[in-house]
Each structure stands twice: as structure tokens, then as C-alpha cells.
């Protein structure tokens, strides 16, 4: 009989003995919004606790056109487009539809657990979460198309407008054989070589800079509804699976975003890029840790000019700290090496 009927003592759910505060600690370590959605379907208790988590991570797998359906979404298993920037302004982010759309609430009412998922918008999906403090969103790919072997990485800080941006680029990333010797560039005397101006090198860096700024301002514009719906946010990071670009907003930036009117570009769905001052540093060749060699290494540090800064101001020390800490691994080493090179000043009008 013991094998047929369960022991009444063992029927008690030991998990119910955990206080809600401890369960929330566990759910905060889950982070992934898909997994949190599945947790919501486990029980009424989880259904009530999941919206209270502080840390959420959203991974965007696909994008769809504004008029498109889920079935028409781009399939990332097919060859990935290298330049989605031209499509980005006409597309809405599509995510987490499969794990949630067919789920029903634990009360058995038959209504979807997240009914607003039919909108295919992360802002709509996240609206059920009422206490988000730290939000990370990952796009399926970088926004700026580059040729094979070219390095392009950027990081930007935003409030209601651009506050800081740093771009690291290289015309070729090579794996240096162990023990191999590299012949030093004859033109590398610490100054910009004449060939940099005549062979299109400067023009290429301008294209990198403008493309990265457009990508950053487009991402910033897409975040406005999320920031509006979540006044508890203290940290917001929007990155991509390629690791190409990262947009970040901290406590002060989010506060400034909410207090000032967003300046949208007249020609597209992105934030207007203010007039900027730029510092460009260049090295024809850098050897990085891990046997990596970077040719045509370029660092561009960008700050809004005083008339375009919207009142925000950061000291030189803060700017240098942002630039030096923008990237990790061998690219952090590349930034530190380039910061020692000669600086070339450029100015750019807002657009």
C-alpha cells in the first residue's frame, strides 16, 4: 500500500518553506526573460513573484517588419545580413514569442500569461515587470557592416543625448604566429603617415565614426518607451551578439533622460547626434596579447561640443576613464597603447 499511496508527510512542498525574499534572489540570478516566463507558469506563487525581479536579460533572436507577422520574421539560422542598419529603422524588435505565447495563467482562466506578446515588442513584454533595476538587451547582430577581417567596436554613454562615445577600429586583425618577428613600419614615427590621407585611410575612419554614431542613436531612440514604462531602472545596457557596439545608461543618465526632451532626427527614427569634438589616435601596427596583430589601429574618442552637450559635462579624468575601460581583453590593451599616441583633433556638425 505504501507503494500505491504517497506518504502524506512527503506530499508537502518543501519549496513553500522558502520566504519570498529568498525566492526573488534565485529568480534575480535567472535573469533570462524566457526562463522567467517559464517560471511564471509553474505556480500562482511564481506568477506573482516573477514581475518583481530586479535583474532582467532580453535576447532578441529575430526582427520583423512593422506590418509583418511572426512567421515572416527573419530566420537567423540562414546567412545573417551583415548590415541591418538600413532595415533597422523600419523594423520592430521581435523576441521571446515561442516560450510565452501559448502559456496560460496558473489560475486556469485560459488567457495568455503575457497577452501583449502579440505586439512582438520588448517594451510590451517587459511591461509585466514592475520592479526592474538592471536591464540588459542583446540584439541579434551588429548594426554596421564591415568586410571580413576588419575590426570595429564602439561603446556609447547616453542621457537624453550623447555624452561619450569611443570607437576602436582596425583594417585587419591577424593571428601572429608564436615566435614570429614583425618588421616595424618605416613610417611609424608616432605621427600620422602621409599615406593615411592619400589612400582613403582618413575617409574610412570618418565612415566608421558616422556609422557607429547612427547605430548608437538608433538604439537610443528605441529605448524611450522602455525607460518611460520602468521608472525603477538604474542600469540599462543594449548590446549585440557580435560584440560590436554597446550603449549604456546609468542612474544619472536615466534621470537626465526623463527630465529632458528627446531630440529626434528629422530624417529617421533615431536621436539627433549633437555637434561633437573628436580625438583621433592612430598606429599602423599593434601587437596585442594572445598572439593578435592589429593593422591600421584607430581610436576615436567623441564628446559633444559645449554648445551641443545639453548641459551635461564630464571632466577629462572621467572621459579618460570611460575610454580606457570601454573594452575588455586584448582590445583594452589596444586602447591603452593608442592613448599614448599623438592626438589629432576633429570637429563634426550635428546630424
Q: Are residues 152 and 292 in the same domain?
A: yes
In a domain, 338, yes or no: yes
Q: pLDDT, tens digit, for every residue of 222-239?
A: 899 999 999 999 999 999
Q: Are residues 44 and 153 in the same domain?
A: no
Q: Decide: residue 78, CB within 10 A, 0-12 exposed, 13-18 middle, 19+ buried.
A: exposed
Q: Are residues 172 and 280 in the same domain?
A: yes
In a domain, 145, yes or no: yes
Residue 32's domain spans which residues?
14-53
Q: Is the pLDDT of residue 187 over 80?
A: no
Q: Are residues 202 and 342 in the same domain?
A: yes
Q: So what's the pLDDT on residue 7?
A: 57
Q: pLDDT, tens digit, for every residue of 190-202?
A: 678 888 888 899 9
Q: pLDDT, tens digit, for every residue of 29-84?
A: 999 999 999 999 999 999 999 999 999 999 987 655 444 444 333 333 334 444 44
Q: Are residues 145 and 48 in the same domain?
A: no
In a domain, 219, yes or no: yes
Q: Are residues 26 and 167 in the same domain?
A: no
Of residues 185 and 49, more confidence is placed in 49
Q: Are residues 195 and 328 in the same domain?
A: yes
Q: Are residues 145 and 43 in the same domain?
A: no
Q: Are residues 222 and 336 in the same domain?
A: yes
In a domain, 30, yes or no: yes
Q: Are residues 49 and 152 in the same domain?
A: no
| CA gap 78, 50 in Å, rounded | 34
Angle between the 20-30 and 33-40 helix axes, to the nearest 10 degrees? 140
Q: Are residues 209 and 305 in the same domain?
A: yes
In a domain, 64, yes or no: no
The number of domains in the chain is 2
Label residue 296 left, alpha or beta by phi (over 0 means left) and psi (-120 to 50 means alpha): left
Least reliable range by pLDDT among 77-81, 208-212, 247-251: 77-81
Question: How does residue 344 score in pLDDT terms, banded at 50, 70 and 90?
Answer: very high
Average pLDDT (92-111) is 43
Q: So what's the pLDDT on residue 89?
A: 37
Chain centroid to CA 73: 21
Amino acid at each position: 500500500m505504501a507503494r500505491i499511496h504517497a506518504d502524506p508527510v512527503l506530499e508537502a512542498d518543501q519549496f513553500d518553506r522558502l520566504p519570498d525574499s529568498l525566492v526573488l534572489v534565485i529568480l534575480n540570478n535567472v535573469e533570462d526573460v524566457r526562463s522567467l516566463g517559464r517560471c511564471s507558469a509553474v505556480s500562482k506563487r511564481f506568477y506573482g513573484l516573477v514581475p518583481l525581479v530586479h535583474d532582467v536579460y532580453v535576447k532578441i533572436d529575430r526582427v520583423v517588419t512593422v506590418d509583418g507577422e511572426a512567421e515572416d520574421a527573419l530566420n537567423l539560422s540562414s546567412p545573417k545580413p551583415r548590415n541591418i542598419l538600413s532595415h533597422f529603422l523600419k523594423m520592430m524588435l521581435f523576441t521571446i514569442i515561442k516560450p510565452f505565447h501559448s502559456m496560460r495563467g496558473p489560475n486556469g482562466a485560459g488567457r495568455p500569461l503575457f497577452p501583449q506578446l502579440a505586439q512582438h515588442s520588448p517594451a510590451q513584454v517587459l511591461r509585466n515587470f514592475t520592479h526592474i533595476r538592471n536591464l540588459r538587451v542583446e540584439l541579434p547582430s551588429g548594426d554596421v557592416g564591415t568586410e571580413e577581417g576588419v575590426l570595429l567596436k564602439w561603446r556609447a554613454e547616453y542621457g537624453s543625448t550623447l555624452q561619450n562615445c569611443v570607437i576602436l577600429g582596425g583594417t585587419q586583425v591577424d593571428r601572429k604566429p608564436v615566435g614570429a618577428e614583425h618588421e616595424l613600419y618605416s613610417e611609424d614615427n608616432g605621427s600620422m603617415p602621409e599615406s593615411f590621407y592619400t589612400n582613403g585611410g582618413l575617409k574610412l575612419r570618418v565612415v566608421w565614426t558616422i556609422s557607429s554614431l547612427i547605430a548608437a542613436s538608433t538604439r537610443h531612440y528605441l529605448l524611450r518607451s522602455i525607460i518611460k514604462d520602468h521608472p525603477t531602472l538604474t542600469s540599462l545596457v543594449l548590446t549585440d551578439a557580435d560584440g560590436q557596439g554597446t550603449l549604456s545608461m546609468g542612474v544619472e543618465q536615466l534621470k537626465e533622460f526623463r527630465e529632458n526632451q528627446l531630440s529626434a532626427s528629422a530624417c529617421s527614427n533615431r536621436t539627433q547626434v549633437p555637434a561633437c569634438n573628436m580625438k583621433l589616435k592612430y598606429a599602423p601596427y599593434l601587437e596585442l596579447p594572445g598572439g593578435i596583430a592589429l593593422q591600421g589601429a584607430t581610436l576615436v574618442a567623441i564628446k559633444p561640443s559645449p554648445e551641443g552637450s545639453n548641459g551635461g559635462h564630464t571632466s577629462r579624468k572621467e572621459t579618460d576613464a570611460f575610454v580606457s575601460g570601454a573594452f575588455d581583453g586584448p582590445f583594452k590593451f589596444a586602447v591603452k597603447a593608442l592613448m599614448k599616441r599623438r592626438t589629432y583633433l576633429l570637429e563634426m556638425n550635428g546630424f
